[in-house]
Structure 1
Amino acid sequence: MLDRRLFLHLATWLGQWPAGPGLHVVRSRRRAQPAWDGRQRPAIAVASPECAILSVPPERVDAVRALAHGRSAEELLPMLPAAVGAPQFTTHAGLFRWSTSPAPLPDVGEWVPPATSGLPPWLRLFDREVLVVRDADGRYLAGAGIKRHDAYGHELAVDTVPAARGRGLARRLVAQAARRVLDEGAIPTYLHTFGNRSSARVAEAAGFPDRGWISYGVFPR
């Protein structure tokens, strides 16, 4: 049975969940509103082995439905930016994972404000505390942030500086952040591109299995 938090997240984030077999293009006003970082995501899709939902702005739904008819996701994706009125945007596709039981890895990071000195620019995009690992001299080594898409689903993002990779920091940060998300009453999700093997290993080790779900969409560059 699908976790209730995940069901509520997908229904809220996309505008509908679930649906029958095949791809369903649905309208959602959320696609015209700022996302977690203040920028729009004019097309978001999640596909399980049973169904696929592609969420677009209401005024674009008819055009995208016509474009999607008879096409696979791979064929449709390059056409989506123009179809949703954002030809300057790029696309993303990859695995969609979630966890209700993060791996019991020991905590490794501390929660700090995103404006803390010494953090990389990507962590400064978050509006709440971020999870950070620093060395004995206070230098940044790795970090994780939580993209709070809605009240029910929070996506994790993680990165490690090249010199600190191979120590298991990323997987421990993801597991630690996932426990916080669950404590907040939401479901932690984790997305990565198909070819990103290192990110896939982090996800598996942190307790985010590959269930055969994918996600794709249109994103700002």
Structure 2
Amino acid sequence: MTPERRLHEHLTRWLGAWPPGGPLDVVAHPGRALPAWDGAIHPVLGVGGPGGGVLSVLPEHAEEVAKLHDDDPGGFGPRVPALLGPPARAWFTAVYRWTARPAPLPDAGVWVPATDPEVPEWLRPFGGEVLVARDPRTGAHLAGVGVKRHDHHGRELAVVTEPRAQGRGLARRLVAQAARRVLDEGAVPTYMHAPGNLASAAVAAAAGFPDLGWTAFGVSAAR
């Protein structure tokens, strides 16, 4: 299965439908009621590309959202959280990237169980194995990548570099390394970041995740 087909299968499962039939399709998706990779419920989630987008909504709210929307999630999106009732949530928009060809950068880390006592706290919720880079002299943690295992076909990467280790190219090397493993395992690697996060955008581009004009948007999960 090609990476493009994997992405299709991932978005179909994740959102409840893909590809979109128009500028923005609102889809009632029972899967929105199921816990995500982090155990949280994401009641409204969408992805848009050059051919249109799909906004996946909890079935009980789909009709209300469908009446509200005007094909531009940036315009009507901020009004969606109020339709869901408590607890309070916020609307978000992100740049959505994916790759079939990670950059051929050298590996920078090793895969270890997320339960390893030396794994930083922020990496542990990802479960499975996480990718970590350590100082070769002291063994101190320098950077890491966690994998959000959304489903069999879609794996989203998240990277953090310790301030003292920034500027060495570790993040881009780790992301490319993780992306190669995701592809080897039969899934497609994805990457999301806030539109104004230029540092994260630079890491993604250098790791082989081009900005193809795709976006992600929706309502943040309640904690």
Superposition TM-score, scaled by structure 2 size? 0.94
Q: Give the superposed CA RMSD.
A: 1.6
Q: Equivalent residues in 2 for 1:162-177 (5 A)? A: 162-177=163-178
Give the secondary structure class of the aligned counterpart of 2:54: strand
In the alignment, the residues of structure 2 paired with residue 2 and residue 190 of structure 1 have an alpha-carbon distance, to the nearest angstrom, of 14
Q: Which runs of 5+ in 2 are unaligned?
A: none
Q: Which runs of 5+ in 1 are unaligned?
A: none
Summarize deviations over 1:75-126 as a string: whole Å, max 9, x none.
Answer: 2222222223454223321111100110010111011111222433221111
CA contact (8 A) 1:42 1:86 kept: no
Q: Which amino acid aligns with 1:134?
A: R
Give the total of aligned pairs: 220
Give the secondary structure class of the aligned counterpart of 1:177: helix
Provide runs of 4+ in structure 1 moved above 3 Å: 84-87
Summarize deviations over 1:168-197 as a string: whole Å, max 9, x none.
Answer: 000001000001100110000000110000
Q: Equivalent residues in 2 for 1:144-163 (5 A)? A: 144-163=145-164
In the alignment, the residues of structure 1 paired with residue 145 and residue 73 of structure 2 have an alpha-carbon distance, to the nearest angstrom, of 30
In the alignment, the residues of structure 2 paired with residue 25 and residue 84 of structure 1 have an alpha-carbon distance, to the nearest angstrom, of 15
CA contact (8 A) 2:3 2:100 kept: no
Q: 1:137: Cα distance to partner?
A: 1.0
Q: Give the equivalent residue in structure 1 for 2:130.
A: 130
Q: Give the equivalent residue in structure 1 for 2:196.
A: 195
Q: Equivalent residues in 2 for 1:201-212 (5 A)? A: 201-212=202-213
CA contact (8 A) 2:3 2:188 kept: no
CA contact (8 A) 2:123 2:144 kept: yes
Q: 1:195 to 1:71 in 2, by over 3 A?
A: same
Q: Give the equivalent residue in structure 2 for 1:91.
A: 91
Q: Equivalent residues in 2 for 1:1-221 (5 A)? A: 3-68=4-69, 70=70, 72-135=72-135, 136-220=137-221
In the alignment, the residues of structure 1 paired with residue 28 and residue 12 of structure 2 have an alpha-carbon distance, to the nearest angstrom, of 12
Q: 1:30: Cα distance to partner?
A: 1.4
CA contact (8 A) 2:102 2:180 kept: yes
